[in-house]
Structure 1
């Protein structure tokens, strides 16, 4: 394989299932993180969402600290922090503190969207600037984490000198171009927005400029996952995520629904087609089916790293899904050589 897969990782949205609470969701996150570490996952990322009844990771930095404290070797980070919602200095202080507490284990992925609706975005900050400050905010964060010289007037304490790795997240060519220009690793959200995946990979790799942070391009793609002991069971379990995504698209977000035997009876045909297109970069099925599907994705897109995500209503079934994927990817992965 021209570009071997070096790592496989996990994105956890801390889903709140119907009939359960945010406390249950966060307890499930802790249990899944411990399992992921045991199974050989490299990173465990959490994402910032607000005003979402079905997601418990709104205070993302707090949850990252909780997960890092319950694990020992797993890299833990944000996939991502929605930078328009925050002053870069505050983000630098939060993640500088995390890196100080858990040295060498913290990642900071940065997104350009607010991660919520506009009413909630207004509630998150006092002023909604019209101009796009994302590129400058990223540069500011790089400086806050770098070694400060004597003339530096504003420092992140903790933060200065921690060199927390920054990732650019995206689902379009914008993030690919920015990550390449700054010489940063890039993660593509193909698990829910796959349309520009191939173009983004080409753009990022072809225009990448080596930097003090990264010598060569490093690309991670995110894929959906729902694995079970049989294809039929996996298809059934996946209906929870299909229903959740359809309701979100319809402006009716809620907790993660129970699975259904007849998803077509609950989701209109046109909406179901849209949802299936959005979730098309995924692996769903038995161990042998998932092995074939993940292998095909890796062969087609040749990521340096594959991150998996998937919401299943039943927590033990969700842990089993990631266990199956780890067994499959453990055979495919080629460990990176030490620098």
Structure 2
């Protein structure tokens, strides 16, 4: 279509027969081009009186030169998300300040677990966890639409969105069956999917960097230590197997982040580490701590006489803080690339 329009405006002598109509574009123009191509192949097009002026113009070297030297659109402009991003704007400071305000509000919420009833704390904790994940998802989608077309923003939006859905399912399921019976549910696939989205994002967005072998040994040793500890305390159960599988994906998640230099980015790396720590605590709560919760009894300094299992409900606010730090880290990275 664009080539046809360029041709019309390049013609020195336009006639009403070649008006820009759907009839000419879809019927007459293709037939004339086929006819002209046949004449070109036979070599008889220059002196053929049956050719109209527009066909001779189409076959002239000057016109062909004009067509092929016309500036083409950049593929990055035609297909957003490929090549160099089309939009290159800085994330507004008001958005950054809003996210930091949410961080400051989340920190004191962590301490409220010892002051308010546990069920109320869990309800508001899960409500805020889902709400903040959705806010992060919406902010990523809007940032991609308005400010930058980095692919990491889209993958982060998917990660936050599916985590919000998974956590909603998990909380409603826990109300029906009880918290001790919901560790192995479809929601676990959502929590694992959160890490998979970011593993892909790290591979696409950040170049791979050289890394000492010792760090890989430390990462593998830590995985084996935690896995053997859980197996030794809780035995071989369904919850234990699922936790070790989650721990394996988590190790790949952290290893991929280190491979691509995510630890060099302020806020993003602390957010990744906080999310990973909260995920490990959540898994230990439902495998190791639940086994000895009754033996330990209530923790004396808490006003609600919380057990160790109850006290680990603090992982909800830790997830919230990790979401905000990851979001702030992504926006900081985008602004640093533009500067």
Q: TM-score, normalised by structure 2?
A: 0.23
More strand by share: 1
More helix by share: 2
Larger Rg: 1 or 2?
2
- TM-score for the superposition, normalised by structure 1: 0.23
